Structure 1
Amino acid sequence: MSLVNRETIEKLISKTQDINVTIFLPTHKKGEEGKQDSIRLKNLIQQAKSELIEQGWKENETDELFDPVIAKTEENQFWLHQDKGLAIYINKEYFDFFKIPVSPKENFYISNNFLVTPLLELQNHHSIYHVLLLSQSETKMFKIAPDETTQVKFESVPTNMEDHLKYHVHDRSIQYHTGTSGSRAVFHGHGTDSDEDNKELELFLKHIENKVTKYLKRVNGPLVLAGPDKMVSYYKKSNKYFNVLEEHISGNCDNKSVQEIEVESWQIVEPYFSEEIKSDIERFNDLSGSELISTDVSEIVKGSYYGKVDTLFVPMGFHQFGIFDQEKNEIEISDQKNGETVDLINLAAISAIRNGSTLYGLPQSEVPNNSGLAAIYRYKS
Structure 2
Amino acid sequence: MSTLPIEELKNLVEQAKSPCISLYMPTYQAGSEVQQNPIRFKNLIRQAESLLQEQHGLRQSDVKELLQPALALDKNDFWQHQNSGLAIFVSENFFRYYCLPLSFEELVIAGDRFHFKPLMPLLTGDGTFYLLALSQKQIRFFEGTRHSIHEIELEDIPTNMEDALMYDETAKEGQFRLSSPRGSTGNSFRYSGSFHGQGSPDQDNPQEDLLQFFHIVDRGLQKYLHDEKAPLLLAGVEYLLPIYQEANTYANLMAEIIPIENIGVIKPEDLLEPAWSQVEPYYTQSRQAAIEHYHELAGTGQTSTDLKETIVAAYYGRIDQLFVSVDTQKWGNFDPQANQLDLHAEAEPGDDDLLNEAALQTLLTGEQSTPLKQTKYRNRHL
Distance 2:127 2:171 in 1: 38
Equivalent residue, structure 2, for 1:67: 68
Equivalent pair of 1:157/1:207 in contact (CA under 8 Å)? no
Distance 2:321 2:288 in 1: 12
State which of 345, 366, 378 in structure 1 corresponds to 2:375: 378
Equivalent residue, structure 1, for 2:303: 293
State which of 208, 216, 228 in structure 1 corresponds to 2:213: 208
Distance 2:67 2:35 in 1: 21
Structure 2 vs 1, CA of residues 149 and 197 (structure 1 numbering), >3 Å: closer, same or farther?
A: closer
The amino acid that maps onto 2:322 is L
Distance 1:24 1:104 in 2: 6
Equivalent pair of 1:140/1:159 in contact (CA under 8 Å)? no
1:217 Cα offset (Å): 4.2
Distance 1:357 1:299 in 2: 21
The amino acid that maps onto 1:73 is D
Equivalent residue, structure 2, for 1:239: 247
1:248 Cα offset (Å): 1.1
Equivalent residue, structure 1, for 2:313: 303
The amino acid that maps onto 1:21 is I
Task: Report the 3-state secondary structure (helix = DSSP H, G, I; strand = E; otherwise coil) of the residue aligned with 1:225.
Answer: strand
1:354 Cα offset (Å): 4.6
Structure 2 vs 1, CA of residues 32 and 286 (structure 1 numbering), >3 Å: closer, same or farther?
A: same
1:218 Cα offset (Å): 4.5
Equivalent residue, structure 1, for 2:196: none
Equivalent residue, structure 1, for 2:141: 142
1:280 Cα offset (Å): 4.3
Structure 2 vs 1, CA of residues 242 and 46 (structure 1 numbering), >3 Å: closer, same or farther?
A: closer
Equivalent pair of 1:292/1:377 in contact (CA under 8 Å)? no
Equivalent pair of 1:323/1:331 in contact (CA under 8 Å)? yes
Equivalent residue, structure 1, for 2:192: none
Aligned pairs for 1:153-302 within 5 A: 154-155=157-158, 157-158=160-161, 201-203=206-208, 205-220=210-225, 223-236=232-245, 239-243=247-251, 244-254=253-263, 255-269=265-279, 280-302=290-312
The amino acid that maps onto 2:24 is F
Equivalent residue, structure 2, for 1:191: none
Distance 1:157 1:9 in 2: 38
Task: Report the 3-state secondary structure (helix = DSSP H, G, I; strand = E; otherwise coil) of the residue aligned with 1:309.
Answer: coil
Aligned pairs for 1:57-136 within 5 A: 57-74=58-75, 77-126=77-126, 130-135=130-135
Unaligned runs of 5+ in 2: 175-200, 378-382
The amino acid that maps onto 1:239 is A
1:170 Cα offset (Å): 9.6
The amino acid that maps onto 2:249 is Y
Equivalent pair of 2:85/2:99 in contact (CA under 8 Å)? yes
Task: Report the 3-state secondary structure (helix = DSSP H, G, I; strand = E; otherwise coil) of the residue aligned with 1:95.
Answer: strand
Tell me, yes or no, if structure 1 residue 329 matches structure 2 residue 339: yes
Distance 2:119 2:363 in 1: 13
Distance 2:327 2:158 in 1: 46
Structure 2 vs 1, CA of residues 350 and 232 (structure 1 numbering), >3 Å: closer, same or farther?
A: closer
Equivalent pair of 1:125/1:274 in contact (CA under 8 Å)? no
Task: Report the 3-state secondary structure (helix = DSSP H, G, I; strand = E; otherwise coil) of the residue aligned with 2:357.
Answer: helix
Equivalent pair of 1:85/1:104 in contact (CA under 8 Å)? yes
- How much is the aligned-residue C-alpha RMSD, in angstroms? 3.7
The amino acid that maps onto 1:10 is K
Equivalent pair of 2:315/2:358 in contact (CA under 8 Å)? yes
Distance 2:249 2:260 in 1: 22
Normalised by the length of structure 2, the TM-score is: 0.74
Write out per-residue CA displacement over residues 342-362 of structure 1, whole angstroms, 9 at most, x where no aligned residue.
31211222333454479xxxx
Distance 2:139 2:215 in 1: 14
1:232 Cα offset (Å): 3.1
Normalised by the length of structure 1, the TM-score is: 0.74
The amino acid that maps onto 1:13 is V
Equivalent residue, structure 1, for 2:153: 151
Distance 2:68 2:152 in 1: 34
Task: Report the 3-state secondary structure (helix = DSSP H, G, I; strand = E; otherwise coil) of the residue aligned with 1:245.
Answer: strand
Unaligned runs of 5+ in 1: 172-195, 359-375
1:66 Cα offset (Å): 1.0
The amino acid that maps onto 2:14 is S
Equivalent residue, structure 2, for 1:316: 326
Distance 1:241 1:306 in 2: 37
Write out per-residue CA displacement over residues 321-350 of structure 1, whole angstroms, 9 at most, x where no aligned residue.
234354543434333234354312112223
Distance 2:313 2:278 in 1: 37
Higher mean Cα deviation, 260-269 or 118-127? 260-269
Tell me, yes or no, if structure 1 residue 13 matches structure 2 residue 13: yes
Distance 1:226 1:18 in 2: 48
Equivalent pair of 2:84/2:101 in contact (CA under 8 Å)? yes
